[in-house]
A and B are shown apart, each in its own frame.
Chain A
Amino acid sequence: MSLNDGDLISGTLDVLVLKALSWGPKHGYGIGRWIGESTDATVLVEEGALYPALHRMERRGWLEAKWGKTELGRRAKFYGLTPKGHLQLMAQARRWYKYSHAVSLLLDKSSA
């Protein structure tokens, strides 16, 4: 599966980003790379989708952004989860499991 296509982006991208940040604050590039690495490059997030999503979630209060320095001393914008973001991650993950379970059930049935 590739997220290049855009069909799956809305909704799914949010939960991926929230999950990426549950391990601690990251900058945008780091989030993208984490998602790529964690899915063995199956899910490649396009920047054009990632940044608007980050900013939107920040505005909703799920994320909290801070300007900081990277290990290499570059100024970058770091995003971290707020308590609200944690709740959101749990809610969205639950919904996702339920949804993918339903889809799997259905696919198993019809292929059988």
Chain B
Amino acid sequence: MIQLPKGIRRLFDLETTAASSQRHVRTELEFHKEMRTRELVDQGLSPEQARREAERLFGHSGQIENDLAKVARQAEPRLRVLSWIRDIQQDLGFALRTLRATPSYAVVAILTLGLGIGANTAVFTLVDGVLMSPLPYQDSEQLVTLWSTSPSRGVLTRSPVSYPDFRDWRSQAKSFEGMAMLYGHGAVLSDREGPTPIVVAAVSGDYFELLKARSALGSPFTHAETTVNPQVAVLKYGTWQRRFGGDPNIIGRTVTLDGLAYTVVGVTDRGRDFPMWGEAWIPLTPELVRSQNLENRGQRIDTWVLARLRPGADSAAAAAELQTICNRLTMVYPETNTDWSALVAPLRQIVIDPFGRNATIPRSLVLLNGAVALVLLIACANVANLSLARVLHRRREFAVRRALGAGGWRLIRQLLTESLLVAAAGAVLGVIVARWAISLILAHGPALPRNTEIAVDLRVLVFTAALVAMTTLLFGIFPAFRSAGAQVTDLRDGARGSVRSRGGKRLQSALVASQVGLALLLLIGAGLLVESLRNLQRVDPGFDTENLLVLRTQAPSPPYSTDEQLIDLHQRLEQAAENVPGVIGAATVNHVPGGGMVISPLETPGLDSVISVAFRTVSPDYIETMGIPTLEGRSLTREDMAPWNGALLVNERLAGMLDQPVGQRLTVFRQKPGANFGEPLEGVVVGVVGDVLGSLVQPASPFTVYVPYTQNPWQSATLVVRTDAAVPDPAALVREALIEVDPNLPVALIRTMESQMSGSLSQQRFAGLLMGAFAGAALFLAALGVYGVLAYLVRQRAREISVRMALGARQVDVARLIVKRGMVIIGVGAVAGLAAAAALTRVMTSLLFGVSATDPITFVTVTGFLVLVALVASYLPARRAAKLDPMQVLRDE
């Protein structure tokens, strides 16, 4: 080293740098060991032996070095900060060494925390992706959707807005920066691969300017552009990928929708494709408004309204303003607008629950988040117990360090550093677990809203880091403070089970009892969900779901423009399907249960007010093909249809509203968008049929009226086909037969009714599965905790037990001693868990079906199960205690 004047060296921190002082310390200590070795050799030891002995006498030289380095640094105020950093490095290094010395502890702790943190990270990823993270649009909190509503007509929820209403709202409301209409309709996309039915969103020109979404390719059309050239289209990312193989040169290409050519100008980005049902966007042109009869102020169907609040405007004020506008409109257009008002819903709510079917998702996710947090708590308790046992074993080490001048705070920090290291390693494992779990859930789990936005991203990692800090404190704090309590006197008493460790045992038992309690809480929650799922699976949907195919067709217009053309098409389709071998029957309906519905007002002399009913247009064989029972009167026949004699069917629930349902006159209104929308259909009830559920989670069947499809044939219709169970793969045959009717007609097999019904429970099944998994993990950890604390007890009291046995205690007595101890822990935990469950399961009420949140049977059976498992866990150490060989133990002491 170059010799420099001292002042300069000091100035540049050369001499005083930690590295050089450490080198000096090392030289000094090395010299000491050498001298000692030499001395021992003089006493007659071999050089190797002497060296080893010198090392041994010297003790933990690394620790001395650290202490010395610290003495050196403390004197240099300039190095205080450095010293602090060095301390952390030192702590980390030391922690790493001690953990390496006890790999079994490290592995178990890291695995336990890894799974706990991983599960939490995964669930948080879902919660964040679906519920919390901002929508991927600029200033997305300003985005709202607008709806019509009419509580007095029984339309409690969101109903679409008619185009004229929308125009008036847009021109009069001041709370909004802009407002855009979306009109969703089926269209046929034709290309080389043939026709496909897709759902197109026709949007007013300023839609994309309002949404402010980034595009994956090209740029979406603007209002100004659509006035020049309205034949433009934006494709959804998924459509672009599926139909066009992600062709990067798609911009500028032409696609054909319902026979018209559109130039592709943009592709939406993944996850930035509101509305979720749209597969392509085209401008809402005056021609389209005319052809779809959108100018009808009473036609509230198939539209969504997107609006952007002015910065600073709040949605309550906006809703109030819309209300005044609605009141004005009611005065001017009493016929169509009486009792109709406006509803403002945040876009976020619509994105999560577009059709009012996912209402339980936020609750389920929050519940799962709570459950998984409890699992982590239990995991922390487990690791805390492991660490406590470890600290008790290391009391000698801590006492020596205290004697050497280490402060209590220093030991706490050391222990917390070890805990932090374990938690951090657990987190690394956890993130891997979480990424794996998320990809599994996205691939095989239920369809979650915003699923393209679910990813282990930076927000999630920040959360995981917070978890690490929290878990470190949770499981590290007890052992850390216990280590600080180590006294020099601990060195004297042999540092084995003595008075001082009694507090440790109590703490351990308390931790295990809380584990048992938390596990019981989770088990009961899972038990309730599973019970509710079983009830849901037993729900009778009201029709025969087996061997029932659902196919959707989209008749392009032209050539299928008039009602006659559509009726003819549907008859030919039914005929073609029935001709397929193995088909028992086929029928047409506008919307199959679970496949959406339209609502019509219903007027009847038997009721004082107008109510809203599901409006289903059906072919004569529909009721029979579906296997819906006719309860009263008769079903519809071919003779009822052409010409229509006014025959209608009502479902059981609606019939319950009417005094004498059969023979009752009632009026519903045509609902297919178009020229005759809203025209009355006056008919007579000829029969009452059973209620039908479209999904097993729907609480009840809606009021339903079945109208002959000849009175209101849909452009997009659904064909239900009953097949013979003996025929293999009838779906493909049926589809081929239908395509033969008209090769330009797109036919999509939606699925079998069975899979639709079972699919309707996928979210419930998912929640039940996860909850069950969490509860299982909790139970396992709690059982492990019980086992651990009792096994420790047996080790600690081996001597006492041996003495007892030597004095004549039988094996049974010994085993009973240990099991009794376990029972106390389990009992305290179970009581606490039951109390917590009784208080907390209430939050699940809205997620449960057919089972109360405090269902005694679930509470009792689950508690019994937990106690059983816990007893098995305490039996193992008890057996070990009973098998102790007293002579052996006493000799070892």
Interchain CB contact under 8 A, B71 and A47: no
User: Which residues in window 171-226 of B have CB below 8 A to A?
Assistant: none
Interchain CB contact under 8 A, B491 and A10: no
Q: A51-B67, A52-B404 are in contact. List 14 more A-B contacts (CB 8 A).
A: A6-B403, A6-B404, A6-B491, A10-B405, A28-B32, A29-B32, A29-B35, A47-B32, A51-B32, A52-B64, A59-B72, A59-B74, A74-B34, A77-B28
Contact of A106 with B by CB under 8 A: no
Contact of B29 with A by CB under 8 A: yes
With both beta carbons as reference points, the residue of chain A lying nearest to B75 in the complex is identified as A59
Interface size on A, residues (CB 8 A): 23
Contact of B737 with A by CB under 8 A: no
With both beta carbons as reference points, the residue of chain A lying nearest to B400 in the complex is identified as A6
Per the bound structure, the CA–CA distance linking A46 and B74 in Å amounts to 22
Interchain CB contact under 8 A, A56 and B71: yes
User: Which residues in window 2-60 of B have CB below 8 A to A?
Assistant: 24-25, 27-29, 31-32, 34-36, 39, 57-60
Per the bound structure, the CA–CA distance linking A22 and B547 in Å amounts to 105
Per the bound structure, the CA–CA distance linking A92 and B717 in Å amounts to 104
Per the bound structure, the CA–CA distance linking A6 and B39 in Å amounts to 25
Interface size on B, residues (CB 8 A): 29
* Set B31, B36, B68: member contacting A74, Cβ < 8 A: B31
- Chain A's nearest CB lies how many Å from the CB of B67? 5
* Residues of chain A having any CB pair with chain B under 8 Å: 5-7, 9-10, 27-29, 32-33, 46-49, 51-52, 55-56, 59, 74-77
Interchain CB contact under 8 A, B36 and A52: no
Interchain CB contact under 8 A, A55 and B71: yes
Per the bound structure, the CA–CA distance linking A76 and B29 in Å amounts to 9
Known: A28-B32, A52-B71, A52-B404. A5 touches B491 (CB 8 A): yes
Per the bound structure, the CA–CA distance linking A69 and B32 in Å amounts to 14
Set of chain A residues within 8 Å of B35, measured between Cβ atoms: 29
Interchain CB contact under 8 A, A27 and B31: yes
Q: Mark B61-75, 1 if CB is under 8 A from A, else 0.
A: 001100110011011
Set of chain B residues within 8 Å of A5, measured between Cβ atoms: 403, 491
With both beta carbons as reference points, the residue of chain A lying nearest to B61 in the complex is identified as A47
Per the bound structure, the CA–CA distance linking A28 and B71 in Å amounts to 16
Counting from the closest, the 7 A-B pairs by CB-CB distance are: A6-B403, A29-B35, A59-B75, A55-B71, A77-B28, A29-B32, A76-B31
Interface SS majority for chain A? helix
- Chain A's nearest CB lies how many Å from the CB of B89? 19
Set of chain A residues within 8 Å of B367, measured between Cβ atoms: none
- Chain B's nearest CB lies how many Å from the CB of A21? 16
Per the bound structure, the CA–CA distance linking A33 and B32 in Å amounts to 11
Interchain CB contact under 8 A, B27 and A75: yes
Per the bound structure, the CA–CA distance linking A9 and B74 in Å amounts to 21
Interchain CB contact under 8 A, B58 and A47: yes
* Set A9, A49, A74, A77: member contacting B24, Cβ < 8 A: A77
Interface SS majority for chain B? helix
Per the bound structure, the CA–CA distance linking A46 and B25 in Å amounts to 16
- Chain B's nearest CB lies how many Å from the CB of A62? 13
Contact of B844 with A by CB under 8 A: no
- Chain A's nearest CB lies how many Å from the CB of B486? 12
Interchain CB contact under 8 A, B31 and A29: yes
Per the bound structure, the CA–CA distance linking A100 and B604 in Å amounts to 113
Set of chain B residues within 8 Å of A49, measured between Cβ atoms: 404
Set of chain B residues within 8 Å of A29, measured between Cβ atoms: 31-32, 35-36
With both beta carbons as reference points, the residue of chain A lying nearest to B402 in the complex is identified as A6
Interchain CB contact under 8 A, A51 and B36: no
Set of chain B residues within 8 Å of A52, measured between Cβ atoms: 64, 67-68, 71, 404-405
Per the bound structure, the CA–CA distance linking A45 and B836 in Å amounts to 58
Interchain CB contact under 8 A, A7 and B31: no
Set of chain A residues within 8 Å of B488, measured between Cβ atoms: 6-7
Interchain CB contact under 8 A, A55 and B404: no
Can you spell out 18 A-B residue pairs with CB atoms less than 8 angstroms apart?
A6-B400, A6-B403, A6-B404, A6-B491, A27-B28, A27-B31, A28-B28, A29-B36, A33-B39, A47-B64, A48-B58, A48-B63, A48-B67, A51-B64, A51-B67, A55-B68, A59-B72, A77-B27
- Chain B's nearest CB lies how many Å from the CB of A28? 6
* Residues of chain B having any CB pair with chain A under 8 Å: 24-25, 27-29, 31-32, 34-36, 39, 57-60, 63-64, 67-68, 71-72, 74-75, 400, 403-405, 488, 491
* Set B28, B72, B400, B404: member contacting A76, Cβ < 8 A: B28
* Set A10, A33, A47, A76: member contacting B59, Cβ < 8 A: A47
Interchain CB contact under 8 A, A48 and B60: yes
Per the bound structure, the CA–CA distance linking A10 and B488 in Å amounts to 13
- Chain B's nearest CB lies how many Å from the CB of A27? 7
- Chain B's nearest CB lies how many Å from the CB of A83? 19
- Chain A's nearest CB lies how many Å from the CB of B29? 7
Per the bound structure, the CA–CA distance linking A29 and B40 in Å amounts to 13
Per the bound structure, the CA–CA distance linking A29 and B57 in Å amounts to 13
With both beta carbons as reference points, the residue of chain B lying nearest to A27 in the complex is identified as B31
- Chain B's nearest CB lies how many Å from the CB of A9? 7
* Set A32, A55, A77: member contacting B31, Cβ < 8 A: A77
Per the bound structure, the CA–CA distance linking A55 and B405 in Å amounts to 14
Per the bound structure, the CA–CA distance linking A4 and B570 in Å amounts to 101
Per the bound structure, the CA–CA distance linking A9 and B27 in Å amounts to 25
Set of chain A residues within 8 Å of B400, measured between Cβ atoms: 6
Per the bound structure, the CA–CA distance linking A76 and B75 in Å amounts to 22
Set of chain B residues within 8 Å of A74, measured between Cβ atoms: 31, 34
Set of chain A residues within 8 Å of B68, measured between Cβ atoms: 51-52, 55
Interchain CB contact under 8 A, A55 and B72: yes
Interchain CB contact under 8 A, A51 and B28: yes
Set of chain A residues within 8 Å of B491, measured between Cβ atoms: 5-6
Per the bound structure, the CA–CA distance linking A5 and B74 in Å amounts to 26
Quick one: which of A32, A47, A77 has the most chain B CB within 10 A?
Answer: A47
Interchain CB contact under 8 A, A51 and B29: yes
Set of chain B residues within 8 Å of A32, measured between Cβ atoms: 32
- Chain A's nearest CB lies how many Å from the CB of B491? 7
Per the bound structure, the CA–CA distance linking A47 and B27 in Å amounts to 14
Per the bound structure, the CA–CA distance linking A81 and B59 in Å amounts to 28
With both beta carbons as reference points, the residue of chain A lying nearest to B28 in the complex is identified as A77
Quick one: which of A28, A29, A52, A74 has the most chain B CB within 10 A?
Answer: A29
- Chain A's nearest CB lies how many Å from the CB of B403? 3
Per the bound structure, the CA–CA distance linking A33 and B57 in Å amounts to 14
Set of chain B residues within 8 Å of A46, measured between Cβ atoms: 59
Set of chain A residues within 8 Å of B29, measured between Cβ atoms: 47, 51
Set of chain B residues within 8 Å of A77, measured between Cβ atoms: 24, 27-28, 31
Set of chain A residues within 8 Å of B24, measured between Cβ atoms: 77
With both beta carbons as reference points, the residue of chain A lying nearest to B404 in the complex is identified as A48
Quick one: which of B29, B32, B58, B74 has the most chain A CB within 10 A?
Answer: B32
Per the bound structure, the CA–CA distance linking A58 and B24 in Å amounts to 14
Set of chain A residues within 8 Å of B36, measured between Cβ atoms: 29
Interchain CB contact under 8 A, B64 and A48: yes
- Chain A's nearest CB lies how many Å from the CB of B27? 7
Per the bound structure, the CA–CA distance linking A49 and B63 in Å amounts to 11
With both beta carbons as reference points, the residue of chain B lying nearest to A52 in the complex is identified as B67
Set of chain B residues within 8 Å of A9, measured between Cβ atoms: 403
- Chain A's nearest CB lies how many Å from the CB of B495? 14
Per the bound structure, the CA–CA distance linking A74 and B27 in Å amounts to 11
Per the bound structure, the CA–CA distance linking A7 and B491 in Å amounts to 10
- Chain A's nearest CB lies how many Å from the CB of B24? 7
With both beta carbons as reference points, the residue of chain A lying nearest to B399 in the complex is identified as A6
Set of chain A residues within 8 Å of B60, measured between Cβ atoms: 48
- Chain B's nearest CB lies how many Å from the CB of A13? 11
Per the bound structure, the CA–CA distance linking A23 and B488 in Å amounts to 34
- Chain A's nearest CB lies how many Å from the CB of B515? 38
Per the bound structure, the CA–CA distance linking A52 and B73 in Å amounts to 12
Set of chain B residues within 8 Å of A47, measured between Cβ atoms: 29, 32, 57-59, 64
With both beta carbons as reference points, the residue of chain B lying nearest to A47 in the complex is identified as B58
Per the bound structure, the CA–CA distance linking A77 and B74 in Å amounts to 20
Quick one: which of B31, B59, B72 has the most chain A CB within 10 A?
Answer: B31
- Chain A's nearest CB lies how many Å from the CB of B42? 12
- Chain B's nearest CB lies how many Å from the CB of A75? 7
- Chain B's nearest CB lies how many Å from the CB of A7? 6
Per the bound structure, the CA–CA distance linking A100 and B317 in Å amounts to 87
Set of chain B residues within 8 Å of A7, measured between Cβ atoms: 403, 488
